[in-house]
Amino acid sequence: MTQIISREPPREYPEKEAFSIAENDFVVSRMVDVFCALRSFFRAIPSVLVGFKQLVYYAERDYMVFFTPDIFVARDVPPKKRFAFYTWEEGKAPDALINFATADFARDDFGYYREVFANLGVREYFIFDPLGEYLNPRLCGYRLVGDEYAPMNGGPLFSEVLGLELRVEQERLRLYDPQRGAYLLYPDELQAEAEQLEQENARLRAEFARLRGENT
């Protein structure tokens, strides 16, 4: 069994990259929704890493060779804190990437980087265009077959890596769990659910107090 030995990353490797100016607050908020939902979904599985805007280096000793996926998922990796992802340390590339289309990345995704991802063995690759400005259809998915990507066909796209369906709902990318028959909830939905539960608890407390008062 191969043991992956963790070591401190070289100092010359930057561990973060500035957001592109093309990524406005609206698009970033949609990214955060998906990231938070996936992180919560995989929270109980420590060997699954969900990354957000984390640099992925894939050429040892060359700090200029990297890419920054909006979201990635890597399975079967050691549970530890990471500020960047080094493929030679992990022994693999991320298993699935999710990128949101912007003016710059919509162009790059269908050329150079898609070939890079295939060569690295990234099993699945999704691109979502929240506003429908660059892609038709707005959600595209690719699965690695041999050493090339084959497009996923159909409406909802099933991810074998995630065990989830990716669906388009208005300007959101939704994640559907077919085993539970339910969508993964996003932060605003979780907050609304918590507020509704608190209101129901308050109503029940008031009703209990009223009934107790009638019986005294």
Residues found in the chain: 216
Q: CA nearest 50: which of 153, 139, 175, 149?
A: 175
Q: Specify whether 135 is located in the same domain as 196.
A: no
Q: Specify whether 107 is located in the same domain as 165.
A: yes
User: In this predicted structure, what is the pLDDT of residue 192?
Assistant: 57
Q: Specify whether 102 is located in the same domain as 114.
A: yes
131 three-class SS: coil
The reported pTM is: 0.80
Q: Answer yes or no: is 1 within a domain.
A: no
Domains held by the chain: number:
2
Q: Answer yes or no: is 11 within a domain.
A: no
Q: Specify whether 30 is located in the same domain as 121.
A: yes
Q: Specify whether 117 is located in the same domain as 215.
A: no
Is the peptide bond prior to 137 cis by the omega test (within 30 degrees of 0)? yes
**Contacts (Cβ under 8 Å, ≥6 apart) of 90:** 4, 74, 77
Is the pLDDT at 73 greater than 90? The verdict is yes
**CA-to-CA dists, residue 164 to 18, 33, 38, 167, 193, angstroms:** 30, 15, 10, 10, 22
Is the pLDDT at 187 greater than 50? The verdict is yes
Report which residue type is found at 197: L
**Contacts (Cβ under 8 Å, ≥6 apart) of 110:** none
CA distance 171 to 19: 21
Span between the terminal Cα atoms of the chain, in Å: 71
Q: Specify whether 157 is located in the same domain as 194.
A: no
pLDDT tens for each residue of 8-65: 555 466 666 555 544 678 889 999 999 999 999 999 999 999 999 999 999 998 888 9
pLDDT tens for each residue of 112-171: 888 999 999 999 999 999 988 888 899 999 999 999 999 998 789 999 999 999 999 999
**CA-to-CA dists, residue 71 to 31, 62, 211, angstroms:** 8, 23, 52
Q: Specify whether 175 is located in the same domain as 208.
A: no
CA distance 85 to 90: 8
Q: Specify whether 130 is located in the same domain as 213.
A: no
Q: Specify whether 132 is located in the same domain as 67.
A: yes
| Beta-ladder partners of 74 | 49
Q: Which domain holds residue 180?
A: 25-184
CA distance 101 to 70: 10
Q: Specify whether 191 is located in the same domain as 152.
A: no
Report which residue type is found at 195: E
Contact 175, 183 (CB under 8 A): yes
Is the pLDDT at 190 greater than 80? The verdict is no
Q: Specify whether 125 is located in the same domain as 204.
A: no
Q: Specify whether 196 is located in the same domain as 172.
A: no
